[in-house]
Amino acid sequence: MDVSQHNTEIHLNQQHWDNKPVLRRAYRDIHALIREQLHDGDGITLELGSGIASIRQTIPDCICTDIFPNPWIDQIENTYALTFGDETIRNIILMDVFHHLRFPGAALKEWHRVLKPGGRVIMVEPDMGMLGRFVYGCFHHEPLSMGQPITWAPPADWNPADIDYYAAQGNAHRIFVKNAITDWKAEWNLERLVRMCTLAYVASGGFSKPQLYPTCFYPLVKALDRILGGLPPVFSTRLMVVLSKRA
């Protein structure tokens, strides 16, 4: 599939965002969790694959980037070949981006280059608890790819500019929860691995499905998330991974 499909989805997402207060509230809460994990100090906080750049409402100084030129994007960036110099970035944020990386090892190598020592990568991804597998497997158009091989590194003749549409929603779970690949551990510390129940988001319908509860019930659904979150193998639907660059 052509990579322009991503941009088509971004513009559809913008329409749903404007019409769904509960979706905006769910994202604001997730972005607040990301903000708590930011590494303090000098340097840039950068989001890759910013989509509609909603994170700026929670982290105003974040530089929002994507591979497409949209009015809300600060600059175009290719995660495999960033325009930033060595050790200039303090934080890299990714929200539902990692599972779109066909060669995650190449991306991690580039992030390592631009991050300051101790700098962080903070990503939020689908998680594959029993509930997560059911929701994403049955109601999302992207494949889980739980049984497919993960292509960690690109071939020798690969051009980073050759980006296609790729999706494997289970990749972050397989790499960071199940340790299907451990090559990254040589250069990164795993600061946090949080498996979360996020019914407040899932039952909002996300960007493409109907909302399943009244907006006024949001605090009650969040309280249920906290209770069910105690059993991540069963109820986890979201995964937060925080990596820090080893000095």
Please provide the DSSP assignment of 52-107 as one string.
T-GGGGTSTTPEEEESS--TT-SEE-BTTB-SSPTT-EEEEEEES-GGG-S-HHHH
| Residue range of the domain that includes 81 | 4-245
Contact call for residues 121 and 111 (beta carbons, < 8 A): yes
Q: What is the largest CA-CA distance in the chain?
A: 54
* CATH code of the domain containing 55: 3.40.50.150
Categorize the per-residue pLDDT at 119 as very low, low, confident or very high, splitting at 50, 70 and 90.
Answer: very high
128 token code pair: 């594959």
- Residue 181 pLDDT class (50, 70, 90 cuts): very high
Q: What is the pLDDT of residue 196?
A: 98
Q: Using the predicted structure, report yes or no on whether residue 39 has a pLDDT greater than 60.
A: yes
pLDDT at 17: 78
How confident is the model over 127-135, as a mean pLDDT? 98
Which are the contacts of 114, defined by CB distance < 8 A and separation ≥ 6?
A: 82, 84, 85, 86, 87, 88, 89, 92
Q: Which of 205, 237, 223, 19 is nearest to 131 (CA)?
A: 237
Section 205-212 average pLDDT: 87
> How far is Cα 202 from Cα 213, in angstroms, rounded to an integer?
10
Number of domains composing the chain: 1
- Whole-model pTM: value is 0.94
Q: Which are the contacts of 193, defined by CB distance < 8 A and separation ≥ 6? A: 176, 177, 239, 240, 241, 242
Angle between helices 21-36 and 218-228 (to 10 degrees): 40
* pLDDT value for 1: 57
Residue 16's pLDDT is 66
Residue whose C-alpha is closest to residue 34's, from 103, 97, 121: 121
